[in-house]
Amino acid sequence: MNNVLTIGNKAIGKGQPPFIIAEAGANTNSSIDLALSLVEKAKDAGADAIKFQTFKANILSTKKAPKFWVDTMDEWENDVKPYGYQYDEYKLLDGLSARDYKMIKKKCDELDIVFFSTPFDFDSVDLLEEIGVPLYKIASADITYYDLLRYVGNKKKPIILSTGASTLDEVKEAVRVIKDTGNNRIALLQCTLHYPCKHNEVHINAMKTLKNEFQDCVIGLSDHSLGILAPIVAVANGAQIIEKHFTIDKTLDKSSDHFMSVDTDELRDMVRNIKIIPDMLGNPVKQPDPSEELARLYARRSVTTTKKINKGELLTEENTICRRSETGISPVHYRDVLLKRAKVDIEEEYPLEWDMLE
């Protein structure tokens, strides 16, 4: 069973730190300057990788394919139904050239952040292959586009497959199609293909099903909810990959993703919180932590005297009590202490030891 992927000098999977992807997507607005700024800010925030989307509008959709997302926070908050056509937005966002992508890859290499992208057509795969991406992402919406799955699978590089809007059988079939190319280097991301999705639509527990059904795959979350809570909860529940939409300015136009993405400060907070989770989860064995040594000594009660007890005097509930003190006989044994006699004189408020009793 191989559920660890190697990307350059980074390992992803069991026993490894969570791999955090800043999903720049189409938030470049077709601007190379904005794309390079996204790279720099993602690195500054601590992301392991930055991912883009590579497509041509006229290949991705017809001119009358309806949108399935809203454009603004106000529309989302007021439950406005999506309107307009996908093509009209995509044609504003597909303007990066092959030269631009090479510049982005060069910047990522200089900053030591992994560069990759989601191709939506065969020419885009060829472009990314020429640039030298170390892995590929397949979008949820293309989980049934088997020709693209085969084309990417044949590149024999790791594939991260999102599973939004999919049934388990559809995921199984997509994985089979990829594996039939001889490529077993697959990660699966739980995803809800709704922008943005509500907290009760994230379904982090679905990762458990993916883990059980695909034990040789790395499992994670592609999150489309607002804020940073879902990725943190997902990592606490075993996610090894987190993908989160990222922008440097939520007020930018052209791409509807800007308003629902995290900005640099939020991404930094998300990364910081995620990276402390493995330490926080700690040891599954129930035992005292070394830091609790003093608490075990001084926070627990001991059997102590309430007044001075003379040698030979009987120990009773009137002259003893269980309370915090210096170390002494545990209150577990309090009933064994009663009706014993003092072997020596014992001062008031003194913790009892067995060698004081007879």
183 with 317, same domain? no
66 with 164, same domain? yes
Here the tokens at position 336 are 């064994």
122 with 142, same domain? yes
66 with 146, same domain? yes
308 with 162, same domain? no
Position 9 pLDDT exceeds 90? no
Here the tokens at position 6 are 């190697």
Query: Which whole number is the average pLDDT over 292-321?
Result: 97
110 with 204, same domain? yes
Which residues contact residue 335 at a Cβ distance below 8 angstroms, ignoring those fewer than 6 apart?
none
Q: pLDDT (tens digit, 9 = 90+) per residue, 284-306?
A: 999 999 999 999 999 999 999 99
**What percent of the chain stands above pLDDT 90?**
96
Position 2 pLDDT exceeds 90? no
For the whole prediction, is pTM greater than 0.85? yes
Helix (H) or strand (E) holding 293: helix 293-298
For residue 352, CA distances in Å to 35, 47, 267, 299, 347 come to 72, 57, 56, 16, 10
Q: pLDDT (tens digit, 9 = 90+) per residue, 60-107?
A: 999 999 999 999 999 999 999 999 999 999 999 999 999 999 999 999
Domain boundary among 239, 255, 281: 281
119 with 263, same domain? yes
142 with 197, same domain? yes
Instruction: Report residue 311's pLDDT band, with 50, 70 and 90 as the boundaries.
Output: very high
Q: What is the C-alpha end-to-end distance of the chain, expressed in Å?
A: 63
Q: pLDDT (tens digit, 9 = 90+) per residue, 148-157?
A: 999 999 999 9
Position 263 pLDDT exceeds 60? yes
Instruction: Report residue 8's pLDDT band, with 50, 70 and 90 as the boundaries.
Output: confident
Q: pLDDT (tens digit, 9 = 90+) per residue, 26-52?
A: 999 999 999 999 999 999 999 999 999
Given the DSSP bridges, would you call strands 218-223 and 301-305 parallel, antiparallel or unpaired?
unpaired
* Mean pLDDT taken over the chain: 96
Q: pLDDT (tens digit, 9 = 90+) per residue, 170-225?
A: 999 999 999 999 999 999 999 999 999 999 999 999 999 999 999 999 999 999 99
Model pLDDT, residue 292: 95
Domain boundary among 237, 256, 281: 281
Burial grade of 95 (CB within 10 A; 0-12, 13-18, 19 or more): middle
- CA gap 246, 260 in Å, rounded: 9
Model pLDDT, residue 326: 86
Model pLDDT, residue 341: 97
Model pLDDT, residue 255: 95
- CA gap 242, 230 in Å, rounded: 10
Position 323 pLDDT exceeds 80? yes
Residue 316, domain extent: 290-356
270 with 317, same domain? no
